[in-house]
Amino acid sequence: MSVIYVLLAISLVVAILFFIAFIVSVRSGQYDDAYTPSVRMLFDDELVKPASSAGGTLNKPSPPRDVEAETKKKETQQTKQV
Protein backbone atom coordinates (compact mmCIF):
# COMPACT_ATOMS: atom_id res chain seq x y z
CA MET A 1 0.00 0.00 0.00
CA SER A 2 2.89 2.37 0.68
CA VAL A 3 4.08 1.91 -2.91
CA ILE A 4 0.87 3.53 -4.15
CA TYR A 5 1.58 6.61 -2.03
CA VAL A 6 5.11 6.85 -3.39
CA LEU A 7 3.92 6.50 -6.99
CA LEU A 8 1.17 9.04 -6.38
CA ALA A 9 3.67 11.54 -4.98
CA ILE A 10 6.07 10.99 -7.90
CA SER A 11 3.28 11.41 -10.45
CA LEU A 12 2.15 14.65 -8.81
CA VAL A 13 5.70 16.01 -8.88
CA VAL A 14 6.06 15.12 -12.57
CA ALA A 15 2.67 16.68 -13.39
CA ILE A 16 3.61 19.89 -11.56
CA LEU A 17 6.94 20.03 -13.42
CA PHE A 18 5.19 19.68 -16.79
CA PHE A 19 2.68 22.36 -15.79
CA ILE A 20 5.49 24.74 -14.80
CA ALA A 21 7.29 24.05 -18.10
CA PHE A 22 4.06 24.82 -19.98
CA ILE A 23 3.53 28.11 -18.10
CA VAL A 24 7.14 29.17 -18.75
CA SER A 25 6.83 28.41 -22.47
CA VAL A 26 3.58 30.37 -22.76
CA ARG A 27 5.06 33.38 -20.96
CA SER A 28 8.18 33.32 -23.14
CA GLY A 29 6.06 33.60 -26.30
CA GLN A 30 6.45 30.04 -27.55
CA TYR A 31 2.87 29.96 -28.83
CA ASP A 32 2.52 33.58 -30.01
CA ASP A 33 2.03 33.26 -33.76
CA ALA A 34 -1.33 34.71 -34.61
CA TYR A 35 -0.40 35.97 -38.09
CA THR A 36 0.96 32.94 -39.97
CA PRO A 37 -2.02 30.58 -39.60
CA SER A 38 -4.43 33.20 -40.96
CA VAL A 39 -2.44 33.77 -44.18
CA ARG A 40 -1.04 30.27 -44.74
CA MET A 41 -3.95 29.28 -46.98
CA LEU A 42 -3.29 32.27 -49.25
CA PHE A 43 0.09 30.99 -50.40
CA ASP A 44 0.33 28.36 -53.12
CA ASP A 45 2.46 25.35 -52.46
CA GLU A 46 5.26 25.20 -55.00
CA LEU A 47 5.49 21.72 -56.44
CA VAL A 48 8.86 20.60 -57.72
CA LYS A 49 8.77 18.01 -60.50
CA PRO A 50 11.02 14.98 -60.10
CA ALA A 51 14.31 14.90 -61.95
CA SER A 52 14.05 13.85 -65.58
CA SER A 53 16.00 10.80 -66.62
CA ALA A 54 17.70 12.58 -69.55
CA GLY A 55 18.90 15.81 -67.98
CA GLY A 56 19.10 14.86 -64.35
CA THR A 57 18.22 18.38 -63.19
CA LEU A 58 15.20 19.48 -61.24
CA ASN A 59 12.66 21.71 -62.89
CA LYS A 60 12.43 24.93 -60.94
CA PRO A 61 8.94 26.16 -60.06
CA SER A 62 7.77 29.13 -62.06
CA PRO A 63 7.80 32.50 -60.32
CA PRO A 64 4.47 33.79 -59.00
CA ARG A 65 2.33 35.41 -61.68
CA ASP A 66 0.99 38.93 -61.50
CA VAL A 67 -2.56 38.13 -62.57
CA GLU A 68 -3.76 41.68 -62.20
CA ALA A 69 -1.08 43.04 -64.51
CA GLU A 70 -1.76 40.30 -67.06
CA THR A 71 -5.48 41.08 -67.18
CA LYS A 72 -4.79 44.80 -67.61
CA LYS A 73 -2.39 43.99 -70.44
CA LYS A 74 -5.02 41.82 -72.16
CA GLU A 75 -7.66 44.52 -71.74
CA THR A 76 -5.41 47.17 -73.31
CA GLN A 77 -4.61 44.85 -76.22
CA GLN A 78 -8.32 44.22 -76.78
CA THR A 79 -9.14 47.94 -76.73
CA LYS A 80 -6.34 48.63 -79.23
CA GLN A 81 -7.76 46.02 -81.61
CA VAL A 82 -11.25 47.56 -81.49
Per domain, the residue ranges of the chain are: 1-43
- pTM given for the model: 0.42
Cβ pair 35, 41 in contact under 8 A: no
Cβ pair 49, 58 in contact under 8 A: yes
Digitized pLDDT (tens) for each residue of the chain, 82 residues in all: 899 999 999 999 999 999 999 999 999 988 887 777 777 777 777 666 665 555 555 556 666 667 777 777 777 777 777 6
